[in-house]
Amino acid sequence: MKFTRISVNPAQMGGVPCIRGLRIPVATVVGMVAEGMTVEEILRAYPDLETEDIREALRFAAESVRERELPLLTPT
């Protein structure tokens, strides 16, 4: 999967994945979606973003989780 809207620059934001070279981390966008914000609310909060940025941030997050094992608690 190729990501054209996600950038990683060690000299910017500590190298965390950001949207299109902006200082908007992917994690911030994904967190806003997780909190229940709509695309329109996110775009109002970050006018430099575009709808496709949000979609790609979610795809990037899904792919990131797919690539590693995460320790999960098992029900007892």
Instruction: Note the pLDDT of residue 66.
Output: 84
pTM as predicted: 0.84
- Each residue's pLDDT tens digit, 18-59: 999 999 999 999 999 999 999 999 999 999 999 999 999 999
DSSP 6: E
Burial bucket for residue 49 (CB in 10 Å: 0-12, 13-18, 19+): buried
Domain boundaries, the chain: 6-64
Matching CATH number, 6-64, of 1.10.10.10, 3.20.20.70, 1.10.3430.10, 1.10.10.60: 1.10.10.10
Q: How confident is the model at residue 65 (pLDDT cuts 50, 70, 90)?
A: confident
Q: How confident is the model over 56-64, as a mean pLDDT?
A: 94
